[in-house]
Amino acid sequence: MIGTAVRTMQCGVCVEPGRMAVEARPLPVEAPEGWALVDIAAIGICGTDYHIFEGKHPFLDYPRVIGHELSGHVASGPEEGRLVVVNPYVSCGRCRACRQGKPNCCTEIEVFGVHRDGGMCARIAVPEGNLYPADGLTAEQAAMVEFLAIGAHAVARSGTGPGDLVLVTGAGPIGLGTAMFARLAGAEVHLMDLSPARLGLARDHFGFEHGHLPSDDLSTGDLAEGFDVVFDATGNARAIEAGFPLVAHGGSTVLVSVVKDDIRFSDAEFHKREARIIGSRNALEADFYQVMDAIRKGHIPTDAIASLVLPLAKLPDHFPGLVENRDQLVKVIVTP
């Protein structure tokens, strides 16, 4: 008896820290019950992917197919061919967080491209409930939705509104996304970053005129009383700690980034301000739809976000350079 040949697809795999490859893997032809097959159209490269390449991610086993910022077309069924955004967070549906409508912080969460193989490939199986129609968006725009949803979720968690004075520390993609949605919420937004190039990019391409280096004195003038909300998107413990004194009385610190280190702050200063510390993790379905609506309305300059579009076959040769020059980039999009 002659067996049926197994169809394969090319996948972007981080084989080990410092080594990216394109490898052949079996092409999925069936999905588990309640899941759907999606033909991937575009993949965004994220800071998480850079950390995986550098060996800095704490929750990952190698080799790993990377990629969690995904758009694609439904491969079969009544929705076949429809462009969708993939929510890459696979939740259990049973834990207390899930039962309370907070699957973004599920106790058993698995993220595509981190805890399980991701979407840097031609086809992937995804829970049907994790697919959101992306009508009116291009495939490249749809691949930007997940990272922007993280910023939108952080802003929603903070309660930022009209008239608030906001500081976003870290002007990388997540910080820029957070800043854009804080601005859409009506806040006056300031950015802080170690890189003058990053601050220049934020000014020239996204219209953020208020840029600060950590060495700048923010204790005078209109900023002397601090910021109503300080969002940290640096992923650096010392930067988080340096942000606490910048919070105004009655204000909040929102930790968008995550670090492995312990964070220290002055309890007396914290209580004097009646401040709040808010953790923000991943995003909810509503955040994804908010982002898509903002893109359709032209509120998000997606052309400025897409720094480079790269075919998967060229990824191994380019990836070390992308890691090294990430300060010059906002978002790299990969096509299978």
Encode pLDDT of 9-40 as tens digits.
999 999 999 999 999 999 999 999 999 999 99
Residues 136, 12 within the same domain: yes
Query: Does the model's pTM come out above 0.75?
Result: yes
Its domain, for residue 116, covers 8-144+300-335
Which backbone phi and psi does 325 adopt, to 5 degrees?
-110, 25
Residues 123, 20 within the same domain: yes
Residues 262, 312 within the same domain: no
Residues 164, 257 within the same domain: yes
The mean of the pLDDT values for the chain is 95
**Considering only CA atoms, which of 256, 175, 167, 241 is closest in space to residue 211?**
167
**Crossing angle (nearest 10°) for helices 173-184 and 196-206:** 40
Query: Is 1 a member of any domain?
Result: no
Query: Is 309 a member of any domain?
Result: yes
The CATH number of the domain where 224 resides is what?
3.40.50.720
Query: Is 170 a member of any domain?
Result: yes
Residues 140, 155 within the same domain: no
Residues 101, 56 within the same domain: yes
The CATH number of the domain where 105 resides is what?
3.90.180.10
Residues 24, 127 within the same domain: yes
Question: How far apart are the C-alpha atoms of 275 and 253, rounded to whole Å?
Answer: 8
Mean pLDDT is lowest, of 36-45, 54-63, 205-214, for: 54-63
Query: Is 40 a member of any domain?
Result: yes
280 neighbors 156 (Cβ within 8 angstroms) = no
**Considering only CA atoms, which of 26, 29, 35 is closest in space to residue 6?**
26
Residues 121, 176 within the same domain: no
Inform me whether the pLDDT recorded for 312 exceeds 60.
Answer: yes
Residues 14, 123 within the same domain: yes
Query: Per DSSP, what are the bridge partners of residue 65?
Result: 13
Residues 30, 122 within the same domain: yes
Residues 12, 99 within the same domain: yes
Does 228 or 78 have the greater pLDDT score?
A: 228
The two tokens of residue 34 are 């309640």
pLDDT confidence of 1, banded at 50, 70, 90? very low
Query: Is 290 a member of any domain?
Result: no
**Considering only CA atoms, which of 31, 68, 36, 228 is closest in space to residue 143?**
68
Radius of gyration of the chain (CA): 20
How many structural domains are present in the chain? 2
Query: Is 2 a member of any domain?
Result: no
Residues 94, 130 within the same domain: yes
Beta strand pairing status for 35-45 and 123-127? antiparallel
Query: Is 292 a member of any domain?
Result: no
98 neighbors 90 (Cβ within 8 angstroms) = no
Query: Is 186 a member of any domain?
Result: yes
pLDDT confidence of 3, banded at 50, 70, 90? low
Determine if residue 123 is left, alpha or beta; phi over 0 gives left, psi from -120 to 50 gives alpha, anything else beta: beta
